[in-house]
Amino acid sequence: MSESDNPNGNLGGIEAVRAARIEWRLGQILTAAVKLLSEQGFQKMLITDLAKEAGVSVGTIYQYVDTKEDILLLVVNDIIESYRREVPAAMEGIEDPVERLAAGFRAYCLVVDAHRTAALLAYQETKSISKEGRERLMRLEVETNSYFSDCIQAGMRLGKFAAVEPAVASGTLTMLAHMWALKHWYLNSMFDVQTYIRSQLSFVMKALIAGEYQKSYSHLVNFS
């Protein structure tokens, strides 16, 4: 039976268009939410103002969320999902744990750079999210930190990394990446994002890489 004979032949295409439209509309709402949250804060932001900023109706917003808190949760979740998507993709196929860690850190920093305002909001407004919402976000953050801690453990097994606590080291890496958003007002006067990444990689790798391997990874250790 040909596609023209099948009344459901275009169903897949229709569903794809519908899904793309939903994603696009949600992106509009999240972009507007980040802007208003940064200007007004969570408590002062009104759904009516959000609808106006996003160019949609209040009813449209409530098609995506049940409460105002859900909007903040979506904003923070969007950043974490970007980490989950971009960091493993950057590390994929790199066998050497040192190079894999460096690639993951670069990707993490670039996600922070692309979501600087939202990343800052995540620190400022997390208290406004319910306990259940915070617990979910914490679970996702632990998952993203594991990308780094797994590399560190692998490097330690090979003797390329000094003996450290992987959870602490991975947490340090994520905090250094977040600092690009938290202190951007100051750091931006001295660095662009790529220079900042190289500087922080040099700082971390000097501490992590075992002495006998420092020369082999001079391109990571030496900041220039």
Same-domain check for residues 39 and 72: no
Interval 37-68: pLDDT, tens = 888 888 888 999 999 998 989 998 888 888 88
Do both 18 and 121 map to the same domain?
A: no
* Residue 152: predicted pLDDT: 97
Query: By the 8 A CB rule, do 207 and 162 touch?
Result: yes
The answer on 79 and 59 residing in a single domain is no
Please check whether residues 133 and 204 belong to one and the same domain.
yes
Domain count, the chain: 2
Reference 156, options 209, 196, 224; nearest CA is: 209
Instruction: Return the pLDDT at 189.
Output: 94
> With a cut of 50, which residues of the chain have pLDDT below it?
1-4
Query: What ranges in 41-125 are assigned the alpha helix state H?
Result: 47-54, 58-61, 68-91, 97-114, 116-125
pLDDT number for residue 7:
52
User: How confident is the model at residue 1, as a pLDDT?
Assistant: 45
Among 22, 48, 64, which residue terminates a domain? 64
pLDDT of residue 6: 53
What pLDDT was estimated at residue 3?
A: 46
For residue 17, the model assigns a pLDDT of: 63
Cα–chain center distance at 161: 26
> Both 83 and 56 in a single domain?
no
